[in-house]
């Protein structure tokens, strides 16, 4: 069954017959015959790859080898008119620009951009705009200072608004044959700016939409529920399928995050990770365009090595996914309960002492293993907060357990409440009534999709960190140091996608440390670099802030030897990135990368094989500074 491209449909019938391809947009492909008369879009040959360009760098518009305007126009004609040359969203806030020529200032449009800027939908629906503006070099953010200058910075020069596989193939072939940097943008949520690059041709997969539910999807080793999903499909596009078909589908918490882009390729956690594993563990089949421009299938029977690598190897590394098939589950009810306490006064009660607050946090941590063993999720935050003129720390957690009623969750958590009461916390605790959330990620989507923090780090805390009173106390001390001394916010996600879950296949490239982790924790910088009012923090200061956070994360690393970090919510600039994101899987991933991308076509910061390239001349200063994308991608000189 094929769906018309660019149209998002939920089919009301249960589909039994599976054709080889998932969507109509995958039927439209580039043929060898078309390329005979147009060498600029000829395919590459993985068995006999032409040597990579001898040039040390990818071409830029300043180079002689950059295609002429006529060549771009011809390319656009062959594409059928989907080539875009977008300028940054915030252009109307500037008098002076290097991307438009002349004055572009428009107060009304600038105000509109400013007011929408904190909402990810604005960025997700734009061909180039992204969440992590720092990675552009903050080259064109909305400003109240119109006399500063807007430039293209780390944004791509051209974008292909892909609506067919043919568009993706042509983009890959044109970029490879012309030695142009290629980037892939889906929802634009990536925390490390892996979705942009200066002087590049961007493949925008946002409009490769489609989602189709199958009650009885059958492969050589699977029979059951499945969701077939296109590359541009976002979490919110799938919500109605879950209710229509009474099914559970693992989705990112953020409504505008893509389902099969960075999320599924990097691992993908959901409310059900302790029960059904990561999303990557439930991918049945992948369709993608590889670096030679060919359209391939990767599943347990075909291109097994690519199939393994795509599930955990990370977005933007091995090819451009056009669709995936993901196992779905019977509707799995969740019930949840939340607890909150603070050092700030509340409801006429004095705030907790700081020591008691941290004792409470440790008490919660001591339930980590039990939450995971129940197949549940603990979703907590420790934030610096204010009340009137006072500042303090506030802890909130929502604990969701599958297959439990509200009263059973309450019963499960009663010992925790009793212990909190014993240490004097229940006096000032906010104890929300337990509520049921049948099959949705309400607890997660509550954090919203707004553009916030720009500095992030992550660590997978292991079962051993939760196993004994002394390890719990060490864990508490490490988190306390990060929050109190560092001044950062903390976000703990207690879940365990172990080898024992009901996942389809855990033999994939995800960091092995996930399997024994009890908590995936993130640290955030509390203030972000641009708040809509103040000028952007200078890049040198941003780099210092980045280094500072790295130094505070060191303490987390010290108590989690051999563990790693979640690449989708971690710092791609961490010095130990190979170990941090893949551990022992890195070497095998490098082999797959060499086989399927001998040209180094797909490059992202902290990606597999990314140490072979660097961004030169950026405002951030590369790996030793803040790795911004507003420079030229060049081979590292050995
Ligand atoms: C508000 C919010 C909520 C989140 N919630 C969760 C959550 O619940 N669980 C979780 O695990 N993570 C979550 N994340 C992290 C999320 O997984 C990452 O930000 C992820 O990289 C987003 O992928 P994307 O494709 O939507 O975004 P993009 O930024 O567009 O892409 C991310 C990376 O994937 C590559 N890519 C995108 N599409 C493709 C494709 N079709 N083929 C090949 N490469 C591609 C891009 O080049 C880039 O390198 C959340 C992030 C935010 C900001």
Burial of 513 (0-12, 13-18, 19+ CB in 10 A): buried
pLDDT in tens, 253-292: 889 999 999 999 999 999 999 999 999 999 999 999 999 9
Helices (H) and strands (E) in the chain, counts: 18, 23
pLDDT in tens, 297-347: 999 999 999 999 999 999 999 999 999 999 999 999 999 888 999 999 887
Is it true that 211-330 and 333-437 share their CATH fold?
Answer: no
User: Packing angle between helix 354-365 and helix 406-422, nearest 10 degrees?
Assistant: 140
Three-class SS of residue 167?
helix
Check pLDDT > 50 for residue 591. Answer: yes
pLDDT in tens, 578-590: 999 999 999 999 9
Check pLDDT > 50 for residue 441. Answer: no
Cβ 189 under 6 angstroms from ligand 1: yes
| Nearest CA owner, ligand 1 atom 15 | 568
Q: Closest Cα to residue 98, out of 158, 140, 137, 146?
A: 140
More confidently predicted of 432 and 17: 432
CA of 600 from ligand 1 middle (Å) equals 21
Which two tokens mark 417? 């409440």
Question: Is the domain 333-437 a CATH 3.30.70.100 member?
Answer: yes
With pLDDT > 90 as the criterion, what percentage of the chain qualifies? 76
What pLDDT, on the 0 to 100 scale, is given for residue 377? Answer: 96
| Nearest CA owner, ligand 1 atom 25 | 261
Three-class SS of residue 213?
strand
pLDDT in tens, 180-225: 999 999 999 999 999 999 999 999 999 999 999 999 999 999 999 9
CA distance to 47, 142, 245, 444, 518, per residue, from 240 (Å): 44, 35, 8, 17, 31
Check pLDDT > 50 for residue 444. Answer: no
Query: Phi and psi of 160, rounded to 5°?
Result: -100, 115
Cβ 253 under 6 angstroms from ligand 1: yes
Work out which ligand 1 atom sits closest to the CA atom of 232. Answer: 41
Check pLDDT > 90 for residue 566. Answer: yes
- Total-model pTM: 0.94
Cβ 188 under 6 angstroms from ligand 1: yes
Least confident of 5-9, 191-195, 389-393, 496-500: 5-9
Cβ 262 under 6 angstroms from ligand 1: yes
Q: Give CA 151 to chain center in angstroms.
A: 26
Cβ 268 under 6 angstroms from ligand 1: yes
Work out which ligand 1 atom sits closest to the CA atom of 318. Answer: 43
Work out which ligand 1 atom sits closest to the CA atom of 205. Answer: 41
Least confident of 48-57, 376-385, 609-618: 48-57
Cβ 124 under 6 angstroms from ligand 1: no
Q: DSSP characters for 324-363?
A: EEEE-EE--EEEEEEEEEESS-BTTBPPPPHHHHHHHHHH
Compute the distance between CA of residue 622 and CA of residue 610 in angstroms, rounded to an integer.
13
Domain ranges of the chain: 211-330, 333-437
Work out which ligand 1 atom sits closest to the CA atom of 447. Answer: 1
Cβ 315 under 6 angstroms from ligand 1: yes
- 54: pLDDT confidence band, cut at 50, 70 and 90? confident
Span 154-173, average pLDDT: 98
Q: DSSP characters for 457-476?
A: EEEEEEGGGGSSHHHHHHHH
CA of 234 from ligand 1 middle (Å) equals 10
- 102: pLDDT confidence band, cut at 50, 70 and 90? low
CA of 489 from ligand 1 middle (Å) equals 22
CA of 622 from ligand 1 middle (Å) equals 22
Residues facing residue 399 across a β-bridge: 337, 378
CA of 262 from ligand 1 middle (Å) equals 4
What pLDDT, on the 0 to 100 scale, is given for residue 10? Answer: 37
Which two tokens mark 605? 């910061």
Check pLDDT > 90 for residue 451. Answer: no
Q: Closest Cα to residue 603, out of 280, 180, 205, 166?
A: 180
Least confident of 16-30, 114-128, 153-167, 386-400: 16-30
What pLDDT, on the 0 to 100 scale, is given for residue 299? Answer: 96
Strand ranges inside 237-305, DSSP E: 247-248, 283-289, 295-298
What pLDDT, on the 0 to 100 scale, is given for residue 276? Answer: 98
Pick the CATH number of 211-330 from 3.65.10.10, 3.30.479.30, 3.30.465.10, 3.20.20.70: 3.30.465.10
Work out which ligand 1 atom sits closest to the CA atom of 251. Answer: 8
Cβ 569 under 6 angstroms from ligand 1: yes
Check pLDDT > 50 for residue 124. Answer: yes
CB atoms within 10 A of CB 56: 11
CA of 281 from ligand 1 middle (Å) equals 16
CA of 153 from ligand 1 middle (Å) equals 22
Q: Closest Cα to residue 213, out of 327, 298, 322?
A: 327
CA of 494 from ligand 1 middle (Å) equals 20
pLDDT in tens, 514-534: 999 999 999 988 666 555 555
**β-strands 435-438, 632-635: how paired?**
unpaired
Which two tokens mark 28? 């439209």
Ligand 1 site-directed mutation target among 187, 252, 295, 377, most atoms within 8 Å of CB:
252
Work out which ligand 1 atom sits closest to the CA atom of 124. Answer: 30
What pLDDT, on the 0 to 100 scale, is given for residue 215? Answer: 96
Check pLDDT > 90 for residue 21. Answer: no
| Nearest CA owner, ligand 1 atom 22 | 262
Work out which ligand 1 atom sits closest to the CA atom of 253. Answer: 8
Cβ 234 under 6 angstroms from ligand 1: no
DSSP state of 621: B
CB atoms within 10 A of CB 215: 14
- 50: pLDDT confidence band, cut at 50, 70 and 90? confident
| Nearest CA owner, ligand 1 atom 37 | 261
Cβ 269 under 6 angstroms from ligand 1: yes
Q: What is the mean pLDDT of the chain?
A: 90
pLDDT in tens, 163-172: 999 999 999 9
Compute the distance between CA of residue 254 and CA of residue 120 in angstroms, rounded to an integer.
9
What pLDDT, on the 0 to 100 scale, is given for residue 118? Answer: 82
């Amino acid at each position: 069954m094929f769906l018309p491209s660019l149209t998002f449909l939920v089919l009301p019938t249960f589909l039994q017959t599976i054709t080889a391809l998932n969507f109509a947009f995958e039927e439209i492909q580039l043929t060898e015959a078309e390329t005979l008369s147009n060498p600029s879009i000829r395919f590459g040959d993985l068995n006999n790859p032409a040597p990579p360009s001898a040039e040390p760098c990818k071409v830029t518009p300043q180079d002689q080898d950059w295609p002429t305007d006529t060549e771009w126009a011809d390319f656009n004609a062959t594409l059928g008119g989907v080539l875009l040359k977008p300028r940054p969203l915030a252009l109307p806030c500037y008098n002076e620009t290097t991307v438009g020529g002349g004055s572009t200032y428009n107060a009304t449009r600038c105000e509109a951009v400013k007011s929408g800027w904190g909402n990810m939908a604005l960025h997700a629906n734009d061909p180039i705009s992204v969440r992590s503006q720092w990675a552009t070099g903050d080259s064109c953010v909305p400003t109240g200072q119109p006399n500063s200058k807007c430039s293209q910075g780390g944004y791509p020069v051209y974008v292909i608004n892909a609506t067919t596989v043919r568009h993706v193939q042509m983009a890959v072939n044109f970029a490879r044959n012309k030695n142009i940097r290629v980037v892939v943008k889906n929802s634009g949520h990536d925390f490390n700016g892996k979705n942009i690059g200066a002087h590049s041709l961007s493949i925008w997969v946002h409009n490769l939409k489609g989602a189709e539910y199958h009650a009885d999807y059958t492969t050589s080793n699977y029979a059951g529920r499945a969701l077939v999903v296109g590359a541009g499909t976002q979490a919110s596009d799938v919500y109605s399928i879950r209710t229509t078909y009474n099914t559970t589908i693992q989705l990112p918490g953020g409504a505008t995050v893509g389902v099969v882009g960075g999320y599924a390729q990097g691992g993908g956690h959901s409310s059900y990770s302790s029960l059904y594993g990561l999303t990557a563990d439930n991918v049945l089949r992948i369709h993608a365009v590889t670096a030679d421009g060919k359209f391939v299938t990767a599943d347990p029977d075909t291109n097994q090595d690519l199939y393994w690598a795509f599930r955990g190897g990370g977005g933007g590394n091995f090819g451009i996914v056009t669709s995936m098939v993901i196992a779905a589950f019977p509707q799995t009810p969740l019930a949840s309960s939340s607890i909150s306490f603070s050092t700030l006064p509340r409801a006429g009660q004095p705030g907790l002492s700081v020591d008691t607050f941290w004792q409470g946090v440790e008490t919660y941590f001591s339930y980590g293993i039990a939450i995971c063993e129940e197949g549940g999720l603990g979703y907590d935050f420790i934030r610096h907060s204010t009340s009137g003129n006072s500042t303090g720390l506030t802890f909130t957690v929502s604990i969701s357990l599958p297959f439990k009623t509200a009263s059973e969750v309450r019963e499960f958590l009663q010992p925790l409440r009793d212990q909190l009461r014993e240490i004097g916390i229940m006096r000032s605790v906010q104890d929300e009534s337990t509520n049921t959330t049948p099959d949705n990620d309400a607890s997660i989507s509550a954090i919203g999709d707004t553009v916030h923090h720009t500095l992030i780090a992550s660590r997978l805390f292991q079962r051993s960190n939760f196993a004994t009173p002394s390890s719990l106390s060490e864990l508490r001390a490490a988190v306390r140091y990060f929050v109190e001394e560092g001044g950062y916010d903390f976000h703990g996600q207690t879940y365990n996608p172990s080898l024992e879950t009901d996942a389809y296949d855990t033999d994939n490239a995800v960091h092995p440390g996930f399997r024994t982790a009890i908590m995936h924790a993130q640290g955030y910088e509390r203030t972000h670099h641009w708040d809509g009012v103040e000028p952007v923090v200078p890049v040198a200061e941003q780099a210092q802030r980045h280094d500072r956070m790295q130094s505070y994360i060191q303490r987390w690393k010290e108590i989690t030897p051999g563990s790693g970090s979640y690449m989708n919510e971690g710092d791609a600039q961490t010095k130990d990135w190979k170990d941090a994101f893949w551990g022992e899987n890195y070497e095998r991933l490098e082999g797959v990368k060499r086989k399927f991308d001998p040209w180094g076509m797909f490059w992202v910061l902290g990606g597999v094989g990314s140490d072979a390239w660097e961004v030169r001349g950026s405002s951030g200063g590369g790996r030793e500074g803040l790795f911004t994308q507003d420079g030229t991608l060049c081979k590292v000189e050995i």
